[in-house]
Structure formats: C-alpha cells, structure tokens
Amino acid sequence: MEYTTAPFRVEISAHHCHVTQEVLDRLFGPGMDLDAHFKRPLSQPGQYVSDIRLDCEVKGRDGQIRRIEGLSILGPVRKYNQIEISLTEAFALRIDAPVRRSGDVAGSVPCTLIYVDPVRRTDVAKVELPCGIVAQKRHIHLDHQQAEQLGVKDGQLVSVAVASPVGRDIIFQDVLIREDPRFDLSMHLDTDEGNAVGARGTTTGRIVKL
C-alpha cells in the first residue's frame, strides 16, 4: 500500500435532509426563508445546519409505516429533495435505500416529510415525495486546485485509508471525487462507516494506491 496524499479531514454525517423551496413553502407557508433559521456552519463554504427538524414516514416492505424522527434540514435550499440515511437505518425501516451520489434521487424510496410541533409533538404539515430516501455514496469534496494537488479528477473513484482513534483503521474503496469551485477538501462518511472506524465527528484520511 502506498499513500499518495497528505492527511485530510474526514467527517461523519448523521441522517439529514435537503429540500426545495416548494417543499418548505408547503410545510411552513409561502416565502419560508431557510437562511433565517441558520444554526451553525458546515465545513463546506456556504452550507449550514438549520434549526428546523423534520420527521419522515416511509412504508416498509412489510407494508408497515415507520418514522425517522429529527432529521436536520441542511441549507441552503436545493433543487431536489433528498433524505440521507444509513443502511442500518434502512434495514430497520425495512426499505431498500439505494446508494447514490447527491442529487441522484430518481427511483429512490418514496416518503412523507412531516413538520412536527416541537412542543406539542403533533404533526402540523406533511408533504408526500415520490422519491428521495437514499444512502449517500461516500465521497470527497474539493475544488479544482485541491484536485490537482491530490492528482484526482471529478467523478473518479479512489481508495482512502481512514485513521481510527480506537485502532480500527480502514481502507474505503470506491470513494467518489466531487469537484466544484464552491467545495473545500473533506471526505464524508455516514454513521455506519464512521462506527466501523470508531470515529465520531471527524478524523483524517489519505488517498492510497493499492
């Protein structure tokens, strides 16, 4: 095994959702301003966690309706609706969530997004989506200059050795390179992948040649 880059940030992302302005307006009324609900910034420039949480209902293979509670809405608003969960959550919900890159939601699992009154815990508004639930394909965000420094290109699949704080270092293969001028260098894993490494929040990784 040969390391081909210096260490870079690896972040663990719990379940969350991205929504369109249309969905926000249907849940909260016309002109809903997600930016006004900024809670804290994310590592990617211009992206943030809002202070709004939604529940999500989905029908499992057995016909039973189950609910994911407390999905943070990440801003800014998107051109698509996407609910990102782990495969462990998909197993518990008895659904077949496809592993997809961000924005590729066609044919994914349909669901209902629900705004719940945070005090009374009663459903206030619902929006049915024909698709949207996915498990996020592990990926690396970077801009063009960073891509050149690492010797990678947009859409490329690489292998990354991720450091473990508990002695469980792992090499993840099929890591998607996502290049955009708005991005900053960071790899994103979901909670299943983070748990496998024994990491919470952040750790570090390096691209490797196997």
pLDDT in tens, 148-179: 999 999 999 999 999 999 999 999 999 999 99
Query: How many structural domains is the chain composed of?
Result: 2
Asked if the peptide bond before residue 76 counts as cis, ω within 30 degrees of 0, the response is yes
Judged against a pLDDT cut of 90, whether residue 2 lies above it is answered with no
Q: Are residues 98 and 193 in the same domain?
A: no
Rg (CA), the chain: 18
Both tokens of 93, joined, read 């919900």
Q: Over pLDDT 90: what percentage of the chain?
A: 94
Among 76, 111, 136, identify where a domain stops.
Answer: 136
The pLDDT score that the predictor gives to residue 126 is 98
Judged against a pLDDT cut of 90, whether residue 45 lies above it is answered with yes
- Provide mean pLDDT across the span 56-61: 98
Q: Note the pLDDT tens digit of each residue in 66-91.
A: 999 999 999 999 999 999 999 999 99
Q: Are residues 67 and 28 in the same domain?
A: yes
Judged against a pLDDT cut of 90, whether residue 5 lies above it is answered with no
Per residue, the 3-state secondary structure of 82-138, as one string, reads EEECCHHHHHHHCCCCCEECCCCCCCCEEEEEEEECCCCCCEEEEEEEEEEEEEECC
- From the list 28, 108, 124, the residue with the least C-alpha distance to 73 is 28
Judged against a pLDDT cut of 90, whether residue 119 lies above it is answered with no
Q: Are residues 27 and 123 in the same domain?
A: yes
The pLDDT score that the predictor gives to residue 3 is 79
Among 136, 160, 194, identify where a domain stops.
Answer: 136
Q: Are residues 130 and 149 in the same domain?
A: no
Q: Are residues 106 and 142 in the same domain?
A: no
Q: Are residues 42 and 99 in the same domain?
A: yes
Segment holding 194, helix H or strand E: helix 191-197
The structure's pTM equals 0.94
Q: Which residues form the domain of 45? A: 15-136
Average of per-residue pLDDT values in the chain: 97
Q: Are residues 29 and 56 in the same domain?
A: yes
Among 136, 171, 190, identify where a domain stops.
Answer: 136
Q: Are residues 111 and 28 in the same domain?
A: yes
